[in-house]
Structure 1
C-alpha cells in the first residue's frame, strides 16, 4: 500500500479452484475498497489464472514491467568503465539533491509521485539494503543531473539497480549508460555476479532497448492491473524499495 487511498494487491490462486466461483466475492471485496481507495494488482506473467480472475472481476491491464538481468561475471575485472567528467560516487552530501533530481526525472512516469524527504530516507538511501558504494552520480555545476542508486538484491550474489534517471536536458548524452558501466564494474569487483532491474516497457518507452545495449536481457514480465474505478495513474510508485512484491520501479534513461 502506497498511501491511505491506494491499495496494492498480490494474489495467488490454487489452480484447482474454479475462478468463476471466486470472481463475485473478489468483485464485492474490491467494491468495498474502491469507495475510497484505488486498487492495483501486480501479477507475474506466469499467473494466468490470476490474470483471468482479475479481468472477470472488473480489472484492466494497464502496464507491463520487464525484469532484466546482466551477468557481471562476463565483465573483465580490469576493464575501465571510462572517464566522464563530473562522475562521482554517492555521498551523503548529495542525498537531497539526488532526491530532487529523481522527482524531476520521474515527473511524467506512470505510477510515481514526488518523494518526500522522510519517504526517501526510509525507503531509499536510509534502507538497510542500499549500497552507496555501488551508486553513482553525474554532477555538473553542483547539480546532480544523472544518478544510479543500487541495493542488495533478493537474488543470491545479486545487485539491484533500483533507480536510474537523468534530467531531460541531458538525455541522449550517454550518462545513464556510463553510470551503469561504473556500477557494474564496481559491483563485479566486490563479488556480485548478477545485476537486476525492472523497467516499464509500456507505450513508447525506449528504456528496455537502452538496457539491452548496456548488456541486460529480459527474463520475465509483471503486469499491473487496475480496477475500472481507479484513476489511470496511481498516486504512488511501484519501486522495489517501497513494494513488498520486489523489483524496482520504472527507470527512465
Structure 2
C-alpha cells in the first residue's frame, strides 16, 4: 500500500494573507519604514537589545547596510521602525523571503524592542505586523510548495520572548548549537593533518572559484533541513567574510561523464561541468567578527559555512578545509575556532566537531508556522 502526499492548496489560499496591515498602537510610537540613513541608529538599537536577549554576539554597520543592498528586499514595505516622542528609535521589525527558495517558501521575521520599553505590548503588536507581512510575501511569491514563517531566539533569551512566539502561534521547529574549540593552551588538541587522495587538492579561496563554491554549497545542503538554494545575489551577501581564512577542495580531474550521468548532479553543476569550469567539492568559508571578541571573552575565527558535495562525502574534503581554516586562525593569534551547527545535521557534522574538540558554548532555536 502506498501513501500519497496530500495535494496542497495554492499558496495564496494556504497562507491567509491579510489584505491590509495594522500598525502597532501600543507605546504611542510613530512608525515608518527603515532607510539606509537609519543604519547607525538601527545598529545602536539592535546592539542595545542583544545582551537583554542573551545574544552571544553584536552586529556591525556593514551587516546593517548590507540589508539595503539585497534587490529582492523591499525595505519600504518589509521593514518598520518605531520612534518615541523625542525621535529616538525604540523598536524595529523586518521581514524577508529568500529568492532562491524552491521546495519550501520561507518568510523570516526579525525584530526587537528596547529593554526599557518592554511590557507595553509593543512586541506583541510588532510581531503581528511582521507575521502579516510575511504571509503577504509568501502569497505574492506564487510558489505552490510548503510554506514557512520563521523566527529565532537564543535558548537563554528571557522566557517572555519565548512565550511571545508561542502565543503568536509559532512552535519550536529546530535547535542549533554554537561550538568552539581552543587553538592555544594546554586544552588545545592538535589540528589534524589531512591527506587528500587522487585528484583532490586543497586551495585558498579565490574570486574565480567563488561561483563554483556556490554551486558546491547548493549541492551540499540540498538534504539539510531548512536549507534552500542560494542565488548569486544571496551568496554575495556575506558581511564579515574573511577570504584569508577560507579554503576549498577542488577535484582537478573529475569523472565528468559519471557526474553528468548521475541523477544527483543538479542542472547548474552539469552546465558548469560541460563548460569545463572548476569543480569545488568541499569548502570552509570563514568570517572575522572582531566586535564579538569582548562579548565572548576571547578572540576567535569563525567558520561560517562548511560543506562537501554529497558525492564526495567520506573523502575528508570538508575536514581538510576546516583544518586548514583552523591553522589560519591560529597563525593570526586567534585563541579559539568557532562555528554553529544544526543539532540534527544529516552529514554527521556534530560528531566530527566533537572529535575535533569543539564543545557547545550557547544555543538557539527556530520557531515557525508551517503553512
TM-score, length-scaled by structure 1? 0.75
**Aligned match for 1:51, one of 162, 169, 178:** 162
Per the alignment, do residues 214 and 15 of structure 1 end up closer, same or farther by CA in structure 2, a change over 3 Å counting?
Answer: farther
The change in CA–CA distance for 1:203 and 1:161 in structure 2 (over 3 A counts) is: closer
Unmatched tracts of structure 1, length 5 or more: 232-253
Alignment RMSD (CA, Å) = 3.0
Q: 1:206 to 1:82 in 2, by over 3 A?
A: closer
Contact 2:248–2:284 at 8 Å: present in 1 too? yes
1:42 aligns with 2:143: no
Structure 2: any 5+ residue segments left out of the alignment? 1-94, 99-105, 138-147, 254-277, 294-298
Q: Which position in structure 2 is the counterpart of 1:138?
A: 249
Aligned runs of 1:18-167 on 2, under 5 Å? Answer: 25=125, 28-29=128-129, 32-37=132-137, 39-47=149-157, 48-74=159-185, 75=188, 81-84=193-196, 85-121=200-236, 123-124=237-238, 127=239, 129-140=240-251, 141=253, 142-153=278-289, 154-156=291-293, 157-167=299-309
| Aligned mates of 1:203, 1:162 — CA distance in 2 | 15
Alignment of 1:164-183 (within 5 A): 164-183=306-325
State the TM-score, normalized to the length of structure 2: 0.53
User: Does the aligned pair in 2 maintain the 1:148–1:180 contact within 8 Å?
Assistant: yes
Aligned match of 2:330 in 188, 194, 206?
188
Cα pair distance change 1:167/1:214, threshold 3 Å: same
* Higher relative helix content: 2
* Cα 1:13–1:133 shift into 2, 3 Å: closer
Larger radius of gyration: 2
Please give the alpha-carbon distance, in whole angstroms, between the structure 1 residues aligned to 2:127 and 2:208: 49
- Does 1:225 pair with 2:367? yes
Which SS does the other structure have where 2:211 is aligned?
helix
Q: How many residues align?
A: 223
